[in-house]
Amino acid sequence: MLEAKHCVGCRQLNDPRYEQLEELIARYKSQKGALIPVLHEAQEIFGYLPEEVQRRVADGLDIPLSEVYGVATFYSLFSLKPRGKHKIGVCLGTACYVRGAGAILAELEKELDIKVNDTTPDGKFTLEVTRCIGACGLAPVMTIDEDVFGRLTPERIKDILARY
Ligand code: FES
């Protein structure tokens, strides 16, 4: 009879991403300093680092789960939550802040009905804040993926979101 902990694995047998993960771990297994590149590639496969992925990386590289979790939470590059298709970044650098970035952020939270660092339930948008992105002349500024929007007002937010 199967133990409960194996049943989780059974369900994931049909998910080809876990096969890719096992191949990835096998490729790095004997290398020093493998953890960060493995997590990086694992995040490319899954879009984020769910607990089961962290567990398999820990088992595969033979390091404590707490160490994997520590690295995954330390670097902002890694995400423990699912990410949306489009990433919104609201600049909260000084120039943007004094020109009303707070109101832009509040409007986005209202319009998307989520808080900072969350993703809309349909998986479309993830809302984040950033530091200065070097476009202070256009403050307040936000980015959506590679696109930059400047001289923002809360009134423009709805139209901009509708383009995605
Ligand atoms: S402070 Fe926002 S772009 Fe520089």
pLDDT in tens, 9-68: 555 667 899 999 999 999 999 898 999 999 999 999 998 999 999 999 999 999 999 999
Q: Average of pLDDT values for 121-125? A: 93
Q: Do 133 and 103 sit in the same domain of this protein? A: yes
Domain that holds residue 44: 4-74
Q: Do 99 and 63 sit in the same domain of this protein? A: no
Q: Do 110 and 158 sit in the same domain of this protein? A: yes
Q: At which of 41, 74, 107 does a domain end?
A: 74
- Residue 81, in any domain of the structure: no
Q: Does residue 141's CB lie within 6 angstroms of at least one atom of ligand 1?
A: yes
Q: What is the pTM of this model?
A: 0.69
Residues 6 or more apart whose CB falls under 8 angstroms from that of 140 comprise 90, 91, 96, 97, 99, 100, 101, 104, 150, 151, 152
Instruction: State residue 134's pLDDT score.
Output: 96
- Residue 80, in any domain of the structure: no
* Listed ranges 5-14, 69-78, 145-154; the one with the highest mean pLDDT: 145-154
- Residue 41, in any domain of the structure: yes
- Residue 93, in any domain of the structure: yes
Residues 6 or more apart whose CB falls under 8 angstroms from that of 17 comprise 45, 46
Instruction: State residue 12's pLDDT score.
Output: 64
Q: Does residue 138's CB lie within 6 angstroms of at least one atom of ligand 1?
A: no
Q: Does residue 136's CB lie within 6 angstroms of at least one atom of ligand 1?
A: yes
Q: If you take atom 1 of ligand 1, which residue's CA is the nearest one?
A: 93
Instruction: Please write down the long-range contacts of 117-125, taking CB distance under 8 Å and 24 or more positions apart.
Output: 117/81, 118/81, 119/81, 119/82, 119/83, 119/84, 120/84, 123/82, 123/84, 123/85, 124/84, 124/85, 124/86, 124/164, 125/84, 125/85, 125/86, 125/87, 125/88, 125/161, 125/164
Instruction: Output the average pLDDT for the chain.
Output: 91
- Residue 104, in any domain of the structure: yes
Provide the domain count of the chain: 2
Instruction: State residue 3's pLDDT score.
Output: 44
Q: Do 56 and 96 sit in the same domain of this protein? A: no
Q: From the CA of 82, how far away is ligand 1's center (Å)? A: 27
pLDDT top residue among 157 and 81: 157
Of 138, 56, 23, nearest to 91 by C-alpha is 138
